[in-house]
Amino acid sequence: MEKPFVLHMITTANNVSPFDVNMAYDAGWDACTPYVGVTLEAVEGLVQDAIFSRGPNGVRRTGIFLGGRDAHVAVQMLEAARKAMVPPFEVSVLADPSGAFTTAGAMVACVETVLQKGQGAGLSGQRTLVFGGTGPVGSAAAILAARAGADTTIVSHQGMSAAQKAAAYCSERYGVQLGAADGSSDDKLCQIVNDVDVVFNAAKAGVRVLWSHHIVTAGRLKVACDVNAVPPKGIEGVEPKDKGEPIRASRSGAVGIGALAVGDVKYKAQHHLLQEMRVAETPQYFGFEAAFEAARQYAG
């Protein structure tokens, strides 16, 4: 009798996300076992408990999912899990804290696709703002956009200090160059959107970051992507189902990508990675880069 496919779901939070549990079962995992309130230091022991108990053959039917609320801790846990492996006792690992990596990957892939269809070019050289860039989705999106060649700036409504802190950490930690901008007032928002090509909104659900008069001000805006599905919409004029529809207030012909469009790509990317973990012949380690590559397959 073949051993079941077991996914060990490790999180720093008080509970494992029901969304992720459903996704794992739908991707074909037979059992999903939660481990909550886990610290970074505990990852090595949990991983080695998982890999040594099933033998070299059974270990191929074992996987590890890393959740939580902090994107940077999730990256550290992914690195710790990889270091804990002892070949041939080695399993695949996916990090997707609060869905941040697959959501960010979907956002950036959707914008890239719209730019390629509209202008034949992707994100390279595009001036890009990321609202909510101090959070897990926004920081991952900023890193991915920068790696795709965009001139990327993190915006914080809390002021310049918060934006600079997030930009500096991501720049140093992930080898990118991110700028910072103060989005704490209407006047400052009008200034920073004046010469921007792309806007990503990954701010807290139910918080509006840009109104129609900001869109009017954005004279070179090409694409605005809003991942907020909770009213009010994060970017006025961008509807949840938009997949490149014109933004009415825009004078530059900008188009919008809404939360449901991003969510569809995010769902498919996460499903894809969970399936890849289960069927891969060799161990895979999936972080936000892998999430972006998976999202690219479905963003068209």
CATH C-level class of 103-262: alpha beta
Give the model's pLDDT for residue 120: 74
Would you say residue 119 has pLDDT above 80? no
Would you say residue 239 has pLDDT above 90? yes
Find out whether 222 and 198 touch, Cβ atoms under 8 Å.
yes
Give the model's pLDDT for residue 49: 94
Whether 103-262 and 6-99+265-296 are alike in CATH topology: the answer is yes
Q: What is the mean pLDDT of the chain?
A: 95
The two three-digit tokens of residue 71, written as one number: 């994107």
Give the model's pLDDT for residue 300: 82
Would you say residue 151 has pLDDT above 90? yes
| Banded model confidence at residue 1, pLDDT cuts 50, 70, 90 | low
- Collect all residues with Cβ–Cβ distance below 8 Å to 140 and sequence separation of at least 6: 71, 100, 101, 103, 104, 105, 288
Q: pLDDT per residue over 54-67, tens digit each? A: 887 788 899 999 99
Helices 100-119 and 136-147: crossing angle in degrees, nearest 10, is 40
What is the C-alpha to C-alpha distance for residues 109 and 112, in angstroms, rounded to an integer?
A: 5
Average pLDDT estimate for 245-260: 96
Q: SS3 letters for 139-199?
A: HHHHHHHHHCCCEEEEEECCCHHHHHHHHHHHHHHHCCCEEEEECCCHHHHHHHCCCCCEE
Neighbours of 279 (CB within 10 A): 12
Distance spanning both ends of the chain, measured CA to CA = 41
Give the model's pLDDT for residue 24: 98
Q: Looking at 77-81, 138-142, 157-161, 221-225, which range is the least confident one?
A: 157-161
The structural domains of the chain, with segments of one domain joined by +, span 6-99+265-296, 103-262
Give the model's pLDDT for residue 85: 96
Would you say residue 51 has pLDDT above 70? yes
Question: Could you name the CATH architecture of 6-99+265-296?
Answer: 3-Layer(aba) Sandwich (3.40)
| Banded model confidence at residue 20, pLDDT cuts 50, 70, 90 | very high
Give the model's pLDDT for residue 121: 82
Residue 243, SS3?
Answer: strand
| Pairing mode of beta strands 255-257, 243-246 | antiparallel
Give the model's pLDDT for residue 55: 82
Would you say residue 282 has pLDDT above 80? yes
